[in-house]
Structure 1
Amino acid sequence: MKKRMKKKKKKKKKKKKKKKKKKKKKKKKKKKKKKKKKKSFVSANEDEALEF
């Protein structure tokens, strides 16, 4: 049971960090999409590569 609790705590921390990254990503994508469609597509791929 102790091991399960530790795993749950670690997962919660990871989820919080991912949510913050997703919010920043969405804002960046919206700004770049307004400029040029082609550029936004390339930048989106770069963002995905960085996240992975």
Structure 2
Amino acid sequence: MFNLPDEEFPARVTCLFASNADHILPVAGLADVAEYTARKIIQLVTELKS
């Protein structure tokens, strides 16, 4: 889920995973994927707005 930035809040990304995602990847791996994905989405949107 992605929320565009506005005057009061910065851009925000929430990554949702299937309830069994920890059976496919370790939780640390899922956290890394979520963090990288969120940062990249925010970076891309920030570049588009500039």
Q: TM-score range by the shorter chain?
A: 0.3 to 0.5
Output the TM-score relative to the length of structure 2.
Answer: 0.45
Q: Which has the larger radius of gyration?
A: 1
- Greater RCO (Cα-Cα under 8 Å, separation 6 or more): 2
Output the TM-score relative to the length of structure 1.
Answer: 0.43
Which has more helix, going by share of residues? 1
